[in-house]
Amino acid sequence: MRRLIKNILRFFKFIPFVNNFFFEWKLSRVPFPILGVNFLYQRIFRVNSKVKFPVHFTSRVIGFDNIKLHKDSNTVGSFCLSNNCYIQALQGIHIGSNFLFAPGTTIISVNHGVNNEFKDDQINPVVIGDNVWLGANVTILPQVKLGDNVVVGAGSVVTKSFPSNSIIAGNPAKLIKPL
C-alpha cells in the first residue's frame, strides 16, 4: 500500500498546484486521507481556494495574505487537522514556529466600533510566539500578543497580551501560573 501511495505521489509531483499543496508544505503528521479530502474541498470545490497553504475543509480563513507563519509540520498540521476554526487576518496575524491549536479556535485581528466604524489608522496584528498551544474553542481578539511558550486553556477568551512562559485560561483569560 505504501508503495502504491509513493508511486501516486511521484506522479502528482509534476502537477504544479498539487506540488504546492502536498510537497512544498511539511505535512508529515497529517494522514494522507485527510490531506486528500482537504485538497478536494480546497482546490476542486473551491472552499478557501485562495489560501496558499492547506486548511481543514470546515475552517474559514479570511485575509490569508496577511498571515505570516512558519512552514513547520506542527503549524501547518494544525491548519490541516483542526476543524471549525475561524481565522480573520485583515490586520495581520504573525505566527511563530511550533504553533499548535485545537478545533474551534477563533483568531480575530480587527474589529469595529459601536457605530460600525472601522479604525484603520493603525495596524496592530495579532502576534503569536514560538511554542504556543491553544486549547479547543479558544478565542483570540485583536491586538493580542502572546509570548513564546504560552499554553492557553480550552474555552478561553484572550482579550489582552501575555508574556512568555505562561499558562493562561478563563473568560477573560488570566494568568494561571508562569512556566
What residues are labeled active site? 112
C-alpha dihedral sign at 107, 80, 103, 97? negative
Report the chain's terminal Cα–Cα distance, integer Å: 44
On the question of a cis peptide bond just before residue 31, with omega within 30 degrees of 0, the verdict is no
**Integer angstrom CA distances of residue 51 from 10, 60, 70, 92, 154:** 24, 10, 15, 14, 27
CA angle 64, 70, 71 (to 5 degrees): 95
CB 62 within 8 A of CB 110: no
d(CA 3, CA 105): 36
Q: What DSSP assignment string belongs to 52-119?
A: SS---TT-EEESGGGEE----HHHHHHHHH--S-EEE-SS-EEE-SS-EE-TT-EEE---B-TTS-B-
